[in-house]
Amino acid sequence: MVQRQTRDQRKYRTSVIIVGTGFSGLGMAIRLKWAGISDFIVLEKAADLGGTWRDNTYPGCACDVPSLMYSFSFEQNSSWSRMFARQGEISDYLQHCADKYRVRDHIHYGVEFTGAEYDEDANTWTVSTADGTEYVGRALVSGVGALHIPSYPELPGVEGFEGEVFHSAEWNHDFGLAGKRVAVIGTGASAIQFVPRIAKEVARLHLFQRTPPWIQPKPDRPIPESVQRLFRNVPLLQRAARAALYWTLEARYFAVFNRRLGKLAEQLSKRYIRKAVKDPKVRAAVTPDYAMGCKRILLSSDYYPALNRSNVDLVTSGVAEVRSRSVVTGDGEEHEVDAIIYGTGFHVTDAFDHLSIVGRDGRKLQDAWRNGMEAYLGMTVSGFPNLFFLLGPNTGLGHNSVVFMIESQINYVLSCLRPICRDEVGQIDVRKSVQDAFNAEIQSELADEVWSAGGCRSWYLDENGVNRTIWPGFTWKYWQRTRKADMADYETTAGQSR
């Protein structure tokens, strides 16, 4: 059982410490409980659960993966109101999962994970937190994901700007946009969702595009009540619909990331641009010059129409300088603005740099990842026993639902946590040779793929141009490899109960 200590004691002991309450952390907590392991604590930096779906509340925030697939396989929601759920509905779904599977009592809110140190004699991780409270556990599971540290561009002079400034992931809802002149920096997945919404409200919108994304129309529509009822009454039908959708999305991998078919998809998107964007100059500016799939392919049916509005101005000459009330572009033009909104994404390949994680023999994770972050199957790192990453290196996707990857990982991690919690093994540490062979294999597959060879620069790649984020292939292949941990891949020590 979780030791019921008061916060004043500032030290908790448990079997498993989970960090984060997004799909990863919550899913891990639920599956642990199912497995009969209730001695675990979940740390959450915020005052509520939900991860990225709690933080991102910008106007128009929604998922670009169909709702049927963007949910746990064990909790298929028959009440999704749309083909692509909006932020509030996904956030409510996570709250519902926490209640239904009774994991709320395990969550410690307002606890910011700052680092962890492994004690090889005791086979425990000691987790440090921002307020000084310590947590000691036999295993540590990171469910922090990679999209939670907003990336702020370094715009010259921005510190002297007197207007309002905020990031899409930290939307200031108290700032009324009606009638304001606004600069939006970035045209990625978040910006293309909020631009059409705020364009209707603001007096003027200067949209700063560095690289145009490839965009396909979003086949979003309400799911009729009759279909929701059918799913509720015949759950097998919903499972069949989900399975069909899964294989359709898997086929998308083939369709987009296969060069020849990718060209066809590019032609379709270009045709969509021709149809949707009126101004030939804007049309040319939003047409990408790199291969589709190199960056995340975006879905939207209202972004291009928003660019046709007379109050929206697409700027491609870059930001040269920010003055107290304006943004000056590379061509010397000065745009007066009341607010700057960053749609500039997140720290991804450097997401763990600010944490102090120390494994065996005092080895720091930053040192282990000096040449780029890598793990075995995206989950375990040699020299860091009993530490598991959910959605770790090279397990992100461009074509299917990451919730599928998360569930595959939870299964795998659970097969390691069971013997640890029963004290049958003391520590499990992935063999360096196994980790190296795995990474050599996936990097050789990734080298010729569109993410590296498609002629773009994206956050999928680290500073050395190596893809550290994407799983190179079909997700069923990942599922197949992660059904159960093979202990031959690990160096293990016996636990006390042996």
Give residues in contact with ligand NAP (CB under 6 A). Answer: 62-65, 147, 153, 168, 185-191, 210-211, 296, 343-346, 459
Based on CB atoms, which residue is closest to ligand NAP, 188 or 359? 188
Q: Which residues lie below 8 Å from residue 362, measured CB to CB, with a gap of 6+?
A: none
What are the backbone angles phi and psi of residue 99, rounded to the nearest 5°?
Answer: -70, -50
Cβ atoms 294, 451 nearer than 8 A: yes
Q: Extract the runs of DSSP E, i.e. beta strands, from 235-325.
A: 298-299, 312-315, 319-323
Measured distance CA(46)–CA(29) in Å, rounded? 17
How far is residue 329's CA from residue 319's CA, in Å, rounded to a whole number? 5
Least separation in angstroms between CB 84 and ligand NAP: 8
Nearer to ligand NAP, 185 or 428 (CB): 185
Q: Which is nearer to ligand NAP, 106 or 296 (CB)?
A: 296
Q: Are strands 124-129 and 113-119 parallel, antiparallel or unpaired?
A: antiparallel
Question: Nearest distance from residue 483's CB to ligand NAP, in Å?
Answer: 26
Sign of the dihedral through C-alpha 485, 486, 491, 497? positive
Residue closer to ligand NAP (CB basis): 191 or 375:
191
- Least distance (Å) from ligand NAP to the CB of residue 33? 27
In 296-355, DSSP assigns E strands to 298-299, 312-315, 319-323, 326-329, 334-336, 339-342
Q: Within a 10 A sphere around the Cβ of 476, how many other Cβ atoms?
A: 14
Structure-token match 């990453």, residue found: 389
Q: With beta carbons less than 8 A apart as the criterion, state whether 392 and 9 touch.
A: no
Using Cβ positions, the residue closest to ligand NAP within the complex turns out to be 188
Nearer to ligand NAP, 373 or 434 (CB): 373
C-alpha dihedral over 313, 317, 318, 320, to 10 degrees? Answer: -110
Residue recorded with tokens 């998922």: 63
Closer by beta carbon to ligand NAP, 286 or else 365: 286
CB of 204 to ligand NAP, least distance (A): 19
Residue nearer to ligand NAP on the CB measure, 190 or 382? 190
Q: How far is the CB of 74 from ligand NAP (least distance, A)?
A: 21
Residue 229 DSSP SS3: helix
289 burial type by CB count under 10 A (0-12 exposed, 13-18 middle, 19+ buried): exposed
Min dist CB 210 to ligand NAP, Å, is: 3
Minimum separation from the CB atom of position 382 to ligand NAP (A): 28
Nearer to ligand NAP (CB atom), residue 12 or residue 303:
303
CB of 155 to ligand NAP, least distance (A): 7
Rounded Cα gap, residues 270 and 267, in angstroms: 5
Q: How far is the CB of 212 from ligand NAP (least distance, A)?
A: 8
| CB closer to ligand NAP, 22 vs 383 | 22
State the minimum distance, in angstroms, from the CB of residue 169 to ligand NAP: 7
Closest to ligand NAP by CB, 346 or 384: 346
Q: Report the alpha-carbon distance of residue 467 to residue 452 in Å, rounded.
A: 7
Question: Which phi and psi (to 5°) does residue 388 adopt?
Answer: -130, 135
- Distance CA(237)–CA(353), nearest Å, equals 45
Q: How far is CA 7 from the centre of its chain?
A: 31
